Structure 1
Amino acid sequence: MLTCRVLGPTELGAGRGPVELGGPLPRRLVTALVAAAGRPVGGDALAQAVWGDEPPASPEVSLQAYVSRLRRALGPGHRDALERVGDGYRLTGAQTDAAAFEAEVARGRELLDAERPAEAVRVFDAALRLWRGEAFADLAGTAVVEAPRARLEELRQVAVEERLAARLAAGDAPGAVAELAPAVRAEPYRERRWELLILGLYRSARQAEALSALRQVRALLADDLGVDPGPALQSLERRLLAQDPGLLLPSRPPARPRPAAPRPVVTRPLSTFVGRAAEIATLAATGPSARLLTLVGPGGAGKTRLAVEYAATRHDGAGDGPWLVRLADVTEPALLTSAVAAAAGVHQPAEPGPDGLALALADRAALLILDNCEHLVAAVADLVVALLARCPRLRILATSREPLGVDGERLLPVAPLPPEDAVALLVDRIGTVRPGWRPDPGEQAQLERLAGALDGIPLALELAAARARVLGLGELVTLLGERFPALGRVPRGALAPHATLEAAVAWSVDLLPAADRALLLRLWPFEGGFTMEAAVSVGSDLEALSSLVTRSVVAADTTVAPTRYRLLGIIRAYCREHDPDPAASRAAHAAWVRALIERSAPELRGERSAHAIRLLNREVPNLRAGLTHDLGADPAAALRSAGLLEWFWFRGGHVSEGLRMLTAALTAAPDAPAVDRALALAGCGILRFIGGDIDGAAECLWQAKALLAEPDSQDGRRLVSQLLYYEALLWAATGDYATGAARARESMAVSERIGERWATPAGEMALGGALAGSGELAEGRRVLEAAAAHAGELRQNWIAAMSELLLARAWLAPADPDPAAALRALGAALERFREEDDVGNVLSCLHTGAYAVTLSGRPAQGATLLAAVRRHGSRRGLRPDATDPATTTSLAAALDEALDPVTRAAAEADGAALDEAAMIATLWAGQEQSHARR
């Protein structure tokens, strides 16, 4: 069993022994994951939790290292509990002392309600003994645990009070008073403690002191807060002054007679309940202590089924219920009270409206389920306030597409099913219409595509599975296409309140105010999500977007910065079909994409290049959609945008896609301005170059130069300088170092002449590489070191990194190799390229590193690293072998000499399993501290 203790300093246990976490930073990581209660925590949020405002240069690498160390510490039996999800992680299957505390408090309350106070005291004692200090102490003062910590601390105070109430109810008034006096001093504004103290004094035959305490709390509240005591204290005061004999009873007064009515039953559907283990666990832990808990999520997500499954497995002992009220059938607020009364078996309340219903239910202990509240939110909220204020033993579980907005309401988001559960649901339901069916590997892949296309929405999955009776899985995937999925009607006996999936989505959309609905219908062109700034471009603002999120038609991911918003696939499809002007919506989206590119492209050349790469990487689906639109609607604009993204395509690792987009744009816009066509051709040239097509690269660069024979703009002149240093790199790769050096000097001269001195280090870098390749090693190394320093001064981080990469290769020249110096230069280059999120050149560094470690006496590691680099490069259209032929040839010869075929094959097989972090670890394995990366 994996156990986590967070009610004090964080401790982790696996099996019978503790897990050594290794220091404060790993403990902070574990604490943040435990606080998320099984939900994924994004990489940015984890970095903020672990390092605060001073993260390391590569926090994702450090997080991976901590996670790897934790997995090893957990051992084979529990290492899978720490899962990678997207760019973050989650911890699953762990039993926490926080959850145990909440469960014990809930059990103590049940015992107290059942008039078993002595047992309740023991249970509350056990619950409070779980505390060893502050909750989530290792992350004290951080935002990531603020909400769960506040909730646990409040429940701790409640547990103290409930324990003392149980002690009073058990007849130990003097002992309770002895504890209540300091408890009141510690929290003087908690009226519950004063109430218990006054009652304890009265039961201890200390009537005068009880009245004195009443006067004290009245004065305290009036002087400090300007308020009167609450209803409970005021009632107690009246009963004290009247010397009510009931105050001396050790237990609750007998409940009022209940009306004779059949006990309502919540019927579970006949189909299997799949997934939702985390939500059920949360309901079991918090449901008994929560007066109002609302399940919030989009239509079809399974909120009703979750509530019914929870209610059907609950047993409240002597209590009533659970009572299920299906509000989808209640069309008018005036009918709400009668619907609840009918579910509770109250046929004729003594008074009409909420007050009469509250009076009828005042002494009844039950769970009331209010299902589908979204169209009656205001009326339901008013009724809930009235019931909870007057019915102390009533708990309410609501389902809605937006919160009720009642003070004290707890929310449990019900998101779409994760991929594995969505596929499991499909398999289960398809099995009911295809007896004996089990998916083969091909069908498994189709199931995964189907689950993804339907966004894991249970209602959509159920309907798709029903169609599998007459359609194959491949046909079902095709059926979805670009249109709203026509998946048929909901079967009889299902819990869904709507007859079709489209009706369920329409219900959500039609409930929106007109302005919000109009905005939602314009958001569908965004692919892969969007930011607040993007939504503003189509007419949104924070208030409108917040309204859509609140109503569960737009999802918000707050674990990344800036917050990212997304429409579920079925809602996007609905909006696409019901948008009154889809062409205008696409055009507005494409205009935002063009503006984003125009704004980001200059940053790719400067000190904010890493920020620009990360921003554009997040928006790749939107870039693709916008460019595709412009290829048909405005090819010249598409050509300019694709060309401006030149450095993004290769530095972000999008070689194949960039080349396709640039080629299509060049074909579609033959009459575009010369500078725009030349920029696109330059992009094609560099992409072909790093993809290994040297001849194709040369042809593109020469065409671009021909277009710019007489540039008449600063952009054109700047591009000439850039083309010259591209040519320098190309000539050096083909072995013509003299021409490469000449082109590099021309590039530097042009940069100086036109005043673009930021571009000079690029020419210096190309010159140094050419000189080293020609055999002028000392001069080449000197020029490359100067280029790196010059680029660093100008904050041209990428050019500095390229200079260091070429310097590393210069230190590996056969005439005078120095592997240690090469590794030092590679370490600096790697760190810069990783800061820039430059996937392609990280692989180039590792390719050169394979030769360096081989020359350092580690040929097996060199072979492993080379195999891993080639595998990752082939997946991205990158060929480091072709762009650095000298290293490739020397490395092949060195490996042939150092390793026999069997050893080399085994080492290369090891490389098949390495990710980027593991490749970097392989590069440095066995290095002394003096050969560190900096």
Structure 2
Amino acid sequence: MHSYASRVLIGKVLGSTEVEMDGVPAELGGPLPRRLVAALLAAEGRPVSEDALAEAVWGGEVPARPAASLQAYVSRLRRSFEQARGPGSALARAGDGYRLTVGDTDAAGFTADVRRGRALLDEERPGDALRAFDAALARWRGEAYADLPETPARTRLEELRAVAVEERLAARLATGDAPGAVGELEAAVRDEPYRERRWELLILALYRGGRQAEALAALRRVRARLADELGIDPGPALQELEGRLLAQDPGLLLPSRPAPAVRPLSHFFGRTEELAALAELSTTGRLVTLVGPGGAGKTRLAVEFAAPRDPWFARLADVAEPTLVPAAVAAALGVRGSTAEAIATALGDRPGLLLLDNCEHVVRAAAELTLVLLARCPGLRVLATSREPLGVDGERLLPVAPLPAGDAVALLTDRITAVRPGWRPDAAERAALDGLATALDGIPLALELAAARARVLGLAELLEMLHGRFPALGPVPRGALAPHETLEAAVAWSVDLLSAHDRAVLLRLWPFEGGFPLSAVDDDLDALSALVARSVVVADTTVTPARYRLLEILRAYCRGRDDDPAGSRARHAAWVRSFVERTAPELRGERSAHAIRLLNRELANIRAGIAHDLHAAPRAALRTAGLLEWFWFRGGLVTEGGRLLRAALDGAPDAPPADRARALSCLGTLCFMTGDEPAAEKALRDAIDVLGPSPDREGWTVRAQLHYYESLLRSATGRYEEAVAEGRHAMAVGRRIGEERLVAAGEMTLGWALAAGGDPRAGRRELTGAIRRATAIGQRWTTAMSELLLGRALLLSTGDEPADPAAALAALRRAVDHFTAEDDVGNVLACLFTGAQALIAAGRRGDGVTLAAAVRRNAARRGISPGAADPLGAAALADLLAGVDPATVPAVDEDAMIGLLGPPARQD
């Protein structure tokens, strides 16, 4: 039975009049009832008298008895609305007229979107504002209130639509895409040549795009047009722009709004010339690199410039190995995978700004990645910070020097005021400020550190401590984040103020990449609190568990001063091993999704720990990589996981049998996912051989897993009798060692082997049992996989067991919901791949083709073969799609792909 309690009607007036429920239009009838509905919607829920409705419906030709006709229309409309909405009509009598109550209208949504876009533009979030205006304008299907004669509501909405067009173009211009905005602005001024706001934006876009002469020509065009056709001069805004244009005001190259709200909380000082130069360089080159000594403020300058342009921010300071640069950039972009190819494919021709921060220790890798992205992604611009140029053709360089004396003193004064409320420097303190700015070479980070110490020391004392106190710390290992020597001295002085215990804790934290949790300091909360309070460690309490990281320069200092760097790396690797040992088992339980999130958060540390152990402790590397078997393919890291597993297997031939077998099992699974069935079969066979006939308990657990992996593989290669036997073996071993989860997994593979082998009825029965068993013990992933296989089984038929596409779609949707909650991207794609076959079988060929093409595109970006585990379905789908050109199929996003399967499963 349906519940209508929360069902509401949606009115649409930005085009022909419509009323719909859940996307399904209600039947309104001919033009006269549509006018009636439009007039009621225009009243926005207020009563409308019969006379006013008659005027709206018939205009100047009102019939003799309009009330009777209105009542007839109202009666039919009520029935139509009740069919869509349920009992309780939205159209009711009110006084001497009628009232129509709807949950929302596209006009109200349009107005709200425009209001939101303007607010985002005021907050200097042009990227978000652009999306809001796009959403607003996408609601229009034609003329507002098209079924009514002239109405003030139409006039108001059309004016707001014109404003929205202009504000959208202003937002695009504010993102830094001046060249791309010119074409749209030229069309806009042709459509509305007397709207001066459009001319202002066009002239500014031309100027920022390096087309100064054309900007002046456009100014002359609008001036002449206004004079010749209207006999008036341009308004004040255009006149002011003309003056600034003729004066070549450098401020025209910068966004005209104030600094963005989303930025570091402290004030920014100086750099006016650098900001103007950066704006100019960014219009002539797609790669601009800020170069200068460590601590000179390159990152802060880049952030101040980029923030209004809504950039992607890739922090490379945490990347220890050049080979990991693509992975770090992919993480910043939200792209799954860790190759330049995956990033370029995901970006396509989308416009955007990528900020590559701190490239100096990975210059070659950053340069190679930048070359690929700029060549493949025409809408991309790159802003980099580094101690040396990237050396890429077309690169524009902007040197960033330390702050001049005046700005350095202003920064010091501001920061000291923040820690000394009400402080005003006297003459002696002003002299000390000048001395501090000189002694610290105007390096912003050194100034920040000095100001922080003003909480406990007078300025004269600070200056006295600086004299002769900052010798160079000497060279640090090649590839480290080597700082400027004066900045090094400032960091040394800051660290020397820590207690011996806290300093020791700090010095061993440098190997952690991308941050660390409390457990990284052996849960020493007191020491960590002291490091955070003294501003040498940054805390992020917006995530759970809280996360911490060293400032870039402090990490470099600790690496250089650590008297046992090999020991620190070994301790870091031991922490990674312990973390994986604790977390990886949760991948199979009720906290699976939580475990995936934790492992993703620590991925940089995991990579570094395994890289260390491959050389120093290969048996440990093998165990860690094998324990992460589910993480590699559920996290979309199939290629990387396979590479690490092969390296660990080669490096640890004498590892314990259970560890080698687990790693081989995992390698087989990853090979299977990439479509390499011979390699998968060999890896699984080698794993069984390694275990031998009498393994220990951990070995028996691995053996049970191998049996159900073998069952899935043999089903995929058409050896169904063998697959049935392997599924039964998995269940038997699971019962023998008391592991109910392995019994459920074996039952799952047995069910699929039976169904694919010619007995769909028996297979569906076993799969339904596996779903019940897995659900009862909280094995959500096994539940999801069983639902996926049940969906496939429901598409198979024999003489007495027909296929059931509708039930298959329902099972697949349940599986998708479970896999999504588990962050298992690979198997979501597997569900959608089977879903395409189900849609076609259900008679929805268009939806099936769209979904199949979308799945293939997404799977290719992740290095996955979606049909590897389902050759029957893959063959059937290939036959059904024969002759379809993928290029002609529209692209859809993930939500739309999932939506094609049907609504989410209801919870009883």
TM-score range normalised by the length of the shorter chain: 0.5 to 0.7
Task: Say if 1:423 and 1:817 are closer, same or farther in 2 by CA, change over 3 A.
Answer: closer
Contact 1:606 1:796 in 2 (8 A): yes
Q: 2:266 aligns with which of 285, 289, 296?
A: 296
Question: Does residue 598 in structure 1 map to residue 581 in structure 2?
Answer: yes
Shift of 1:716: 0.6
Report what 1:821 is aligned to. Answer: 807
Report what 1:719 is aligned to. Answer: 702
Contact 1:522 1:585 in 2 (8 A): yes
Give % identity: 44
CA distance in 1, matches of 2:751, 2:818: 19
Calculate the aligned-residue CA RMSD, in Å: 5.2
Task: Say if 1:712 and 1:626 are closer, same or farther in 2 by CA, change over 3 A.
Answer: same
Q: 1:689 aligns with which of 672, 686, 697?
A: 672
Shift of 1:802: 0.4
Shift of 1:613: 1.2
Q: 1:637 aligns with which of 610, 620, 623?
A: 620
Q: 2:877 aligns with which of 891, 903, 906?
A: 891
CA distance in 2, matches of 1:283, 1:658: 37
Query: Which residues in structure 2 correspond to 1:640-651 (within 5 Å)?
Result: 640-651=623-634
Contact 2:127 2:309 in 1 (8 A): no
Contact 2:671 2:680 in 1 (8 A): yes
Greater displacement, 637-646 / 559-568? 559-568
CA distance in 1, matches of 2:652, 2:504: 35
Contact 2:813 2:901 in 1 (8 A): no
Paired residue secondary structure (1:881): coil
Report what 1:514 is aligned to. Answer: 498
CA distance in 2, matches of 1:803, 1:82: 48
Report what 1:563 is aligned to. Answer: 546
Per-residue CA shift, 1:458-498, capped at 9, x if unaligned?
xxx99968965xx8348999x9xxxxxxx996487794553
Aligned residue type for 1:514: L
Query: Which residues in structure 2 correspond to 1:429-468 (within 5 Å)?
Result: 448=354, 450-451=356-357, 453=359
Question: Does residue 866 in structure 1 map to residue 841 in structure 2?
Answer: no
Task: Say if 1:66 and 1:589 are closer, same or farther in 2 by CA, change over 3 A.
Answer: farther
CA distance in 2, matches of 1:881, 1:555: 46
Paired residue secondary structure (1:744): helix
Query: Which residues in structure 2 correspond to 1:320-335 (within 5 Å)?
Result: none
Report what 2:321 is aligned to. Answer: none
Report what 1:615 is aligned to. Answer: 598
Paired residue secondary structure (2:867): helix
Contact 1:643 1:680 in 2 (8 A): yes
Matched residues, number: 553
Shift of 1:611: 1.1
Shift of 1:522: 2.8
Q: TM-score, structure 2 length as denominator?
A: 0.53
Report what 1:786 is aligned to. Answer: 769
Task: Say if 1:831 and 1:17 are closer, same or farther in 2 by CA, change over 3 A.
Answer: closer
Report what 1:763 is aligned to. Answer: 746
Question: Does residue 754 in structure 1 map to residue 737 in structure 2?
Answer: yes
Q: 1:916 aligns with which of 885, 890, 894?
A: 894
Shift of 1:859: 2.0
CA distance in 1, matches of 2:593, 2:648: 26
Shift of 1:691: 1.3
Task: Say if 1:693 and 1:714 are closer, same or farther in 2 by CA, change over 3 A.
Answer: same
Task: Say if 1:821 and 1:770 are closer, same or farther in 2 by CA, change over 3 A.
Answer: same
Report what 1:673 is aligned to. Answer: 656
CA distance in 2, matches of 1:631, 1:546: 33
Question: Does residue 906 in structure 1 map to residue 888 in structure 2?
Answer: yes
Shift of 1:675: 0.9
Question: Does residue 811 in structure 1 map to residue 794 in structure 2?
Answer: yes
Per-residue CA shift, 1:99-140, capped at 9, x if unaligned?
xxxxxxxxxxxxxxxxxxxxxxxxxxxxxxxxxxxxxxxxxx
Shift of 1:812: 1.1
Q: 1:472 aligns with which of 391, 411, 422?
A: 391
Greater displacement, 754-763 / 736-745? 754-763
Q: 1:735 aligns with which of 704, 707, 718?
A: 718
Per-residue CA shift, 1:339-368, capped at 9, x if unaligned?
xxxxxxxxxxxxxxxxxxxxxxxxxxxxxx
Query: Which residues in structure 2 correspond to 1:173-252 (within 5 Å)?
Result: none
Paired residue secondary structure (1:880): coil
CA distance in 1, matches of 2:254, 2:503: 32
Paired residue secondary structure (1:527): coil
CA distance in 2, matches of 1:769, 1:604: 23
Aligned residue type for 2:574: A
Ranges in structure 2 where 5+ consecutive residues have no aligned partner: 1-105, 140-160, 173-248, 277-296, 314-346, 362-381, 409-436, 444-482
CA distance in 2, matches of 1:845, 1:526: 37
Report what 1:263 is aligned to. Answer: none
Paired residue secondary structure (1:735): coil
CA distance in 2, matches of 1:650, 1:462: 33
Shift of 1:81: 10
Report what 1:854 is aligned to. Answer: 840
Per-residue CA shift, 1:530-557, capped at 9, x if unaligned?
2233344688744124225xx3x54444
Aligned residue type for 1:453: C
Contact 1:652 1:837 in 2 (8 A): yes
Task: Say if 1:843 and 1:626 are closer, same or farther in 2 by CA, change over 3 A.
Answer: same
Contact 2:133 2:168 in 1 (8 A): no
Q: TM-score, structure 1 length as denominator?
A: 0.51
Paired residue secondary structure (1:866): helix
Shift of 1:591: 1.5
Shift of 1:818: 1.5
CA distance in 2, matches of 1:655, 1:670: 23
Shift of 1:920: 1.4
Contact 2:312 2:354 in 1 (8 A): no
Per-residue CA shift, 1:793-852, capped at 9, x if unaligned?
011000010000000001111543211111000011001000100111011011111111
Contact 1:71 1:82 in 2 (8 A): no
Task: Say if 1:520 and 1:705 are closer, same or farther in 2 by CA, change over 3 A.
Answer: same
Aligned residue type for 1:531: P
Shift of 1:918: 3.0
Contact 2:539 2:546 in 1 (8 A): yes
CA distance in 2, matches of 1:876, 1:472: 30
Aligned residue type for 1:296: S
Report what 1:101 is aligned to. Answer: none
Contact 1:655 1:877 in 2 (8 A): yes
Paired residue secondary structure (2:259): helix
Paired residue secondary structure (1:565): strand
Task: Say if 1:806 and 1:901 are closer, same or farther in 2 by CA, change over 3 A.
Answer: closer
Q: 1:543 aligns with which of 518, 529, 541?
A: 529
Aligned residue type for 2:794: W
Question: Does residue 280 in structure 1 map to residue 259 in structure 2?
Answer: yes
CA distance in 2, matches of 1:419, 1:283: 7
Shift of 1:788: 0.6
Shift of 1:601: 1.8
CA distance in 2, matches of 1:742, 1:495: 78
Task: Say if 1:620 and 1:308 are closer, same or farther in 2 by CA, change over 3 A.
Answer: closer
Task: Say if 1:424 and 1:759 are closer, same or farther in 2 by CA, change over 3 A.
Answer: closer
Contact 2:311 2:352 in 1 (8 A): no
Per-residue CA shift, 1:18-45, capped at 9, x if unaligned?
74659xxx99xx89x9799668999xxx
Report what 1:775 is aligned to. Answer: 758
CA distance in 2, matches of 1:606, 1:704: 24
Shift of 1:755: 1.3
Q: 1:879 aligns with which of 865, 880, 897?
A: 865
Paired residue secondary structure (2:510): coil
Contact 2:812 2:901 in 1 (8 A): no
Report what 2:780 is aligned to. Answer: 797
Aligned residue type for 1:918: A
Contact 1:847 1:865 in 2 (8 A): yes
